[in-house]
Amino acid sequence: MSKTSNSTQSRATASRAPVGLTEGQIIAAAMEVLESDGLDKLSLRAVAAKLGVRVNAVAWHLKDKAGLLSTVADAMVADCVPAHLPPDPEERVRTLLASLRTALLSHRDGARLAREGSSLARTHQRAFAEAFNAALHATGRSPKEAAWTAWTLMYFTLGLVKEEQTPQSRTLYAEAAEADPAAFPSLAKTIAHLRPDSFDDRFAYGVDLILSGHSSVPPTPRPATGPATE
Q: What is the mean pLDDT of residues 185-191?
A: 88
Let me know the angle formed at the C-alpha of 129 by 124 and 134, rounded to the nearest 5 degrees.
130
Give Rg (Cα) of the chain: 23
Report pLDDT for 7: 42
> What residue ranges define each of the domains in the chain, with the CATH number in brackets?
20-63 (1.10.10), 89-212 (1.10.357.10)
d(CA 33, CA 22): 17
Predicted TM-score (pTM) above 0.85: no
- The region that residue 63 occupies, defined by phi over 0 for left and psi between -120 and 50 for alpha, beta otherwise, is left
Confidence label for 176 from pLDDT (cuts 50, 70 and 90): confident
Label residue 148 exposed, middle or buried (CB < 10 Å: 0-12, 13-18, 19+): middle
Label residue 93 exposed, middle or buried (CB < 10 Å: 0-12, 13-18, 19+): buried
Q: What is the pLDDT of residues 58-107, one digit of tens each?
A: 999 999 999 999 999 999 999 999 999 999 999 999 999 999 999 999 99
Confidence label for 188 from pLDDT (cuts 50, 70 and 90): confident
